[in-house]
Structures are given as C-alpha cells and as structure tokens.
C-alpha cells in the first residue's frame, strides 16, 4: 500500500498537481515543508522589528501610516504561514517554542540594524525585492496551502518593494545629506540581501531534494542572479551605486557578473553572531511573554462561547 501511495504522490508532483493536507505524503516531504515554512513564518514576524524601530520617528504622517501598515502586513504574513504549517500537523506553540529556543532559524537579513530612516527604504527596495524574487516561484510550490499563502504575500510584498523604492527615490533626489544617507543604506544592505537566497548551490543541503519535490522551483544561485539583474538598472534609475566594483554586464551569459559574497559573515550570522541576533530573539521572547494574557483571554472567551453554544 505504501508503494502505491508513494507512486500516487510522485505522479501528482510530476503532473504539477497540488499536494493537499489530507493527501498521503512522504515523511521527509512533510518535515522539509515544516522546516521551510516555519523558517519563513519566523522571518516574517522577526522582520517586524527592524522597521518598527522607525515608526515613532517616521518623518511625516504619510510615511508613518505607510510604515505601520507595512509592519502590520508582516504580522499577517506570519499568520498565513503559521496557518500553512499547521495544516501539516505542527502546532504554532511548538514552532514558536523552537524559534524562542534557537532550534529553528529565521532569515539572516533581520539580524542587521536599521541605523537611519533610509534603511526603511533600502529594506523595502532590496530586502522585500529579494523576498519577492525568492517567493514568486513559491506560488507554484507543490504543497497547496503554502502556494496559496504565497499568492497573497507576494501581492503585498510588491507594494512593500515599491514603497521602499519610492522612499529611496525621494531621498536620492533630496538634499546632499539625504542622498548620502540613501547611499549609505544601500551600501550596508546590498550584500546581506544577496545572502538571503541561501548558500551557493554546491553547499545548499536541501536544494536538490526540494527541487525534485517542486517545493523550490529554482536554485539559490539562479534566484540570486535574477535579483542582481533586476537591481542593477533600478539602482541606475535611483542614481545610487551598488557597492560592488566587480559588477559587470556579461554579454556571453546575458547576466550581470558580481563580486564574491562573504560567506564567512553569512555563517556567523546563522550561528547567532550577527550584529542583532541576541536583541531580536530577546525582544521576540519578551513580546511572547507579555502577550500571554491576550492568548489566555482569547482562550477563555472561546471556551465561554463554546459552553454557551452547547447549552
């Protein structure tokens, strides 16, 4: 029976059909999805912190309203994704506990500080731009609930990306000090954004299997290259420079060549030694503890409603 279930699963993946929660799936497929979706969900909610840092200091009411909406969107993305993980039989409590105890990762990018207002623009343009490049193919992921969550998330991410670009454009066309602030933010966020796509293909432990399962549709390096190719003309339009002297159009490849990424830095950030790892996790744990009464109140309310309905 196991063999025919496996055959049915393989045939569905080969035919580009969606695997749904009640379908049989190999254990390793399930655990790979939980790993990736959980890491993704954790990234969304940890990612609220660096930008929330600027809500109280946004330079105008318009910018403040936009930024608040954006940070709120990230919370929503976390909810869709924890929901998708739950369809695989893993509870939210368990996933959050793994995040809080360092047993599950979140994206390296959110361990860098937001030092100036221009960082909000650079995050929108580069970090959300990288996220979209990585996530649009996930809309075609073989697992239905994840793929469907990604459709909504990508629509919102593309709005986020544009607000970042527009913010940087305003700074780049502003005073000399504003232009310099925009350039400094791009200088600091460029390389970490390239690291978001994960290790190089020959060091990516999960890529081959995830691509065979059609969870991932493209390799880490393919998506990284796609992102670089998109960003170069956009930087030019902004009048800002990408901090890589080796960026060069390669006629033969039809792509931009770029310089070497500091993978040692990436590994250090993953190990917990990035500039803000400790701060991010401490703040997350504190938010969870401080929110305990809300969860308790919601549970008590639900129990009361259920008891009333049963009367």
Nearer to ligand ACO, 98 or 179 (CB): 98
Residue choice 134, 142, 193, 225 for contact with ligand ACO (CB under 6 A): 134
Dihedral sign of CA atoms 6, 8, 10, 12 in order: negative
Closest approach, Cβ 81 to ligand ACO, in A, equals 9
Nearer to ligand ACO, 7 or 287 (CB): 287
Task: Give the up-direction half-sphere exposure of residue 58: CA atoms within 13 A in the CB hemisphere.
Answer: 18
Query: Using CA atoms in the order 34, 136, 151, 157, what is the torsion angle rounded to 10 degrees?
Result: 100
User: Contact at 8 Å (CB) between 103 and 39?
Assistant: no
For ligand ACO, the binding residues in 18-37 under the rule CB under 6 A are 35-36
Using CB under 6 A as the binding criterion, the count of chain residues that bind ligand ACO stands at 26
Alpha-carbon gap, residue 256 to 230, rounded angstroms = 10
**Can residue 218 be called a binding residue for ligand ACO (CB under 6 A)?**
no
Closest approach, Cβ 7 to ligand ACO, in A, equals 25
Residue choice 90, 142, 183, 220 for contact with ligand ACO (CB under 6 A): 220
Residue choice 9, 19, 47, 118 for contact with ligand ACO (CB under 6 A): 47
Alpha-carbon gap, residue 63 to 110, rounded angstroms = 21
Task: Supply 174's token pair.
Answer: 């502003």
Residue choice 148, 162, 206, 255 for contact with ligand ACO (CB under 6 A): 206
For ligand ACO, the binding residues in 245-304 under the rule CB under 6 A are 270
Closest approach, Cβ 127 to ligand ACO, in A, equals 6
Dihedral sign of CA atoms 53, 55, 60, 64 in order: positive
DSSP state, residue 103: S
Closest approach, Cβ 294 to ligand ACO, in A, equals 24
DSSP state, residue 174: S
User: Contact at 8 Å (CB) between 270 and 106?
Assistant: no
Query: In DSSP terms, which residues pair with 249 in a beta bridge?
Result: 256
For ligand ACO, the binding residues in 84-113 under the rule CB under 6 A are 105, 107-108
Nearer to ligand ACO, 107 or 225 (CB): 107
Stretch that binds ligand ACO, among 14-22, 127-135, 163-171, 178-186 (CB under 6 A): 127-135
Closest approach, Cβ 54 to ligand ACO, in A, equals 16
Report the candidate in 79, 100, 93, 97 with the shortest Cα–Cα distance to residue 37. Answer: 79
Residue choice 19, 43, 67, 224 for contact with ligand ACO (CB under 6 A): 43
User: Contact at 8 Å (CB) between 186 and 243?
Assistant: yes
All residues at 6 or more sequence positions from 130 whose CB lies less than 8 Å from its CB, including other chains? 109, 193, 194, 196, 197, 227
User: Contact at 8 Å (CB) between 216 and 37?
Assistant: no
Binding string, residues 153-192; x marks residues near ligand ACO by CB under 6 A = ----------------------------------------
User: Contact at 8 Å (CB) between 134 and 125?
Assistant: no
Nearer to ligand ACO, 25 or 223 (CB): 223
Binding interface with ligand ACO (CB under 6 A): 35-36, 39-40, 43-44, 47, 105, 107-108, 131, 134-135, 195-199, 204-207, 210, 216, 220, 270
């Amino acid at each position: 029976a196991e063999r025919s279930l496996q055959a049915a699963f393989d045939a569905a993946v080969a035919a580009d059909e969606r695997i749904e929660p009640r379908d049989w799936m190999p254990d390793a497929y399930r655990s790979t999805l939980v790993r990736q979706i959980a890491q993704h969900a954790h990234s969304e909610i940890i990612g609220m912190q660096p930008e929330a840092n600027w809500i109280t200091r946004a330079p105008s009411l318009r910018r403040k309203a936009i930024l608040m909406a954006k940070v709120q969107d990230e919370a929503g993305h976390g909810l869709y994704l924890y929901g998708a993980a739950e369809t695989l039989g893993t509870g939210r409590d368990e996933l959050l506990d793994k995040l809080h105890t360092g047993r599950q990762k979140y994206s390296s990018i959110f361990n860098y500080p937001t030092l100036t207002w221009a960082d909000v623009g650079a995050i929108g343009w580069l970090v959300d731009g990288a996220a979209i490049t990585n996530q649009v193919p996930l809309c075609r992921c073989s697992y239905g609930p994840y793929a469907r969550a990604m459709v909504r998330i990508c629509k919102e991410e593309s709005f986020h990306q544009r607000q970042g670009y527009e913010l940087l454009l305003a700074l780049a066309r502003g005073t000399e000090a504003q232009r310099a602030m925009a350039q400094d933010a791009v200088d600091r966020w460029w390389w970490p954004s390239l690291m978001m796509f994960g290790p190089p293909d020959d060091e990516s432990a999960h890529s081959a299997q995830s691509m065979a399962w059609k969870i991932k549709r493209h390799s880490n390096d393919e998506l990284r290259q796609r992102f670089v190719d998109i960003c170069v003309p956009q930087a030019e339009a902004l009048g800002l420079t990408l901090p890589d002297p080796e960026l060069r159009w390669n006629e033969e490849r039809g792509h931009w060549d770029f310089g070497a990424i500091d993978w040692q830095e990436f590994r250090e950030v993953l190990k917990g030694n990035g500039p803000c790892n400790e701060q991010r996790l401490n703040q997350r744990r504190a938010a969870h503890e401080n929110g305990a009464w809300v969860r308790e109140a919601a549970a008590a309310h639900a129990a009361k409603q259920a008891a009333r309905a049963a009367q």
